[in-house]
């Protein structure tokens, strides 16, 4: 019981691998001759073994997902970048559309003459394409630089580029269009229209016949 304090300190230094050779030797000599310190040292080593022996435990299921769900929302730009990275085909397609938009811009200004899709039962008066009352047009109607007046029925899409659909307001009463009706009067509508038709044509392969008046 009258062992100097320093031996306990040496034991801990030894366990921390932070002891000089000379002190280590001193400690081991003392332990060989002192039962109390020998026991103390043994107990310390056993304590460490017990603590180290507790099983390693793993984070519960779904731990990471839970955290990710709780994080504040990330910036939109990064989300878009990653989307492009993960969808290389679609981003290539987007790039293609953008380039095409450039060439379309000149088309937009060049094509100034009146033209329309030639459908059998339609009337043309000046720059107005008329679907007469009681007539049924089977197919799409595309008109450039003119108007469309719908009094009968169109079983397809009606698109007017740089013009207007004048029958539209009384469609509910008289005329009927089964497909989409769109007026394209702005450059972005124009680009959008081309993107849509390109996609449609690519996937459906249904080219609509469009002929010029001239």
Partner 1 sequence: METIVNSRIKQVLKGDQNAYGEIVELYKDKIFQLCYRMLGNRHEAEDVAQEAFIRAYINIQSFKQGKKFSSWIYRIATNLCIDRIRKKKPDYFLDAEVPGTEGLTMYSQIASDSVMPEDKLVRLELQETVQKEISKLPEKYRAVIVLKYMEELSLNEISEILDIPLGTVKTRIHRGRETLRQQLRNL
State the residues that interact with partner 1 by CB under 8 A: 8-9, 12, 15-16, 18, 40, 43-44, 46-48, 50-60, 63-64, 66-68, 70-72, 74-75, 77-78, 82
Q: How far apart are CA 15 and CA 95, in angstroms?
A: 65
Please, are residues 148 and 141 in contact by the beta-carbon 8 Å criterion? yes
Nearer to partner 1, 46 or 196 (CB): 46
What is the total residue count of the chain? 214
Give 131's contacts (C-beta < 8 A, 6+ positions apart): 121, 122, 123, 137, 141, 148, 149, 150, 151, 152, 153, 154, 167, 175
Contacting residue, 8, 26, 34, 208, with Zn ion by CB under 5 A: 34
Nearer to partner 1, 70 or 169 (CB): 70
Q: Give which of Zn ion, partner 1, none residue 207 binds (C-beta under 5 to 8 Å, depending on kind).
A: none
- Identify which range of 29-37, 52-60, 135-143, 193-201 contacts Zn ion by CB under 5 A: 29-37
Q: Give which of Zn ion, partner 1, none residue 50 binds (C-beta under 5 to 8 Å, depending on kind).
A: partner 1
Q: Which helix (H) or strand (E) holds 73?
A: none
CA–CA–CA angle 207, 126, 188 (5° rounding): 50
Q: How far apart are CA 111 and CA 210, in angstroms?
A: 14
Nearer to partner 1, 1 or 57 (CB): 57
Q: Give which of partner 1, Zn ion, none residue 43 binds (C-beta under 5 to 8 Å, depending on kind).
A: partner 1
Does residue 150 interact with Zn ion by CB under 5 A? no
- Min dist. Cβ of residue 135 to partner 1 (A): 57
118-137 as b/e: b if 16+ CB within 10 A: ebeebeeeeebbbbeeebeb
- Min dist. Cβ of residue 35 to partner 1 (A): 15
- Identify which range of 10-18, 32-40, 71-79, 96-104 contacts Zn ion by CB under 5 A: 32-40
The CA–CA distances, whole Å, from 190 to 4, 51, 76, 94 equal: 95, 73, 27, 16
The CA–CA distances, whole Å, from 25 to 1, 10, 39, 114 equal: 21, 10, 18, 107
Nearer to partner 1, 51 or 173 (CB): 51
Nearer to partner 1, 40 or 118 (CB): 40
- Min dist. Cβ of residue 33 to Zn ion (A): 8
User: Which residues contact Zn ion by CB under 5 A?
Assistant: 3, 34, 36-37
């Amino acid at each position: 019981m009258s062992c100097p304090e320093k031996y306990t300190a040496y034991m801990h230094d030894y366990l921390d691998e932070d002891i000089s050779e000379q002190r280590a030797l001193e400690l081991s000599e003392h332990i060989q001759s002192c039962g109390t310190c020998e026991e103390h040292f043994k107990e310390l080593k056993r304590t460490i073994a017990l603590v180290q022996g507790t099983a390693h435990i793993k984070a519960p299921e779904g731990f990471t997902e839970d955290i990710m769900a709780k994080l504040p929302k990330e910036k939109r730009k990064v989300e878009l970048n990653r989307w492009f990275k993960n969808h290389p085909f679609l981003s290539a397609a987007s790039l293609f559309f953008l380039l095409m938009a450039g060439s379309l811009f000149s088309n937009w200004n060049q094509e100034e003459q009146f033209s329309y899709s030639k459908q059998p039962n339609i009337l043309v008066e000046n720059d107005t394409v008329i679907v007469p009352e009681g007539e049924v047009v089977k197919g799409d109607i595309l008109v450039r630089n003119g108007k469309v007046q719908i009094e009968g029925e169109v079983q397809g899409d009606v698109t007017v580029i740089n013009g207007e659909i004048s029958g539209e307001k009384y469609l509910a009463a008289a005329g009927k269009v089964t497909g989409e009706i769109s007026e394209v009067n702005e450059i972005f509508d124009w680009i959008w229209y081309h993107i849509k038709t390109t996609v449609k044509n690519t996937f459906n392969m249904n080219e609509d016949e469009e002929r010029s008046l001239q």
